[in-house]
Structure 1
């Protein structure tokens, strides 16, 4: 994504200072927002990459000023409308009804046999593996010097702006993984080899701003990189 949603390497936003302790849920509604993800995932509304892209549809100001689980709500609503599971008028009407009738009973249980609960209990701890094995040969190997392609792809991508055009060395090869630039844009799933590339701080930020001897690593899918110029 080419916008404020790609925050990596941006200056002026201040340090990340997580509190030493915080509750799992900061508000009761966050629990319900969390359950929407596996429910919608199981219904086929999106995969993980498309879910991320749904959050990237938020207005930049709203994205920066809203709590984390509001991003989840926005994505589920976006894909629910996109796939025809509901329309915005229905969502607005249901919201209005419960705001005016907070003690009204909730809709009847759509999972009386506990299948959704069992699915959540299986998927949340284990995750949904992104590894694939189609037999595709890898173009690059550990030790290769590569440069991240400096372009601005439309739609969802995991190629962060701050590494575009930068050169580093492959330090790990992970095999094939789901390619977010297809899966995240609701295209047919494809897979590409993934590599961990190590960059020097100077290569990323310039000699004046870089910490001495610092390095950073970044995972790239094969279409993101080309052999470095000699």
Structure 2
């Protein structure tokens, strides 16, 4: 490739000469990851292809492979992009917090996460449903630890009579299920309301509905409170 001091030499990202070059520019990686999130969300891991992701990103397939090497690595990056914020959102319960405020905060954090990363959230939900076998081991271990801590926190609140008497493990699953139902908003609500995409008001309504459904069922009955204080 010819060049001179007055011209710029351009090398495509998949050129072997870039092996020793600086790290790839972040915007290109984000573009590929965003496309991968959409393709994996719509088609699932098995049906998704690198060619399809490249087409979605508007890039040649070799460019995608330069940055991520394989479909497996792309999928792992999608999971990593959502795993940590998801854990922070849904496993942030602390025994010293006021239960209703803490649970409201949890639902709100999850809905906001789904609003910001709807496709990655859907991919992550499917992965968890299928046993999280492709989730990096470090995240799987952190997940198990945070789940135990959250269950212990819920048990503490139930034992103190701050929440209705129920099994804390099933309670945690129910909290997630109510909040996670917001993931389907992006695929179902637009069709119901006759428009192409969601608006901020849709997520606000979802948060209000999810919080009310959850908290009205969790508040202890007066008889339970009196029994705990006796």
Greater fraction helix: 2
- The TM-score, its normalising length taken from structure 1, stands at 0.25
Greater fraction strand: 1
Give 1 or 2 for the bigger CA radius of gyration.
2
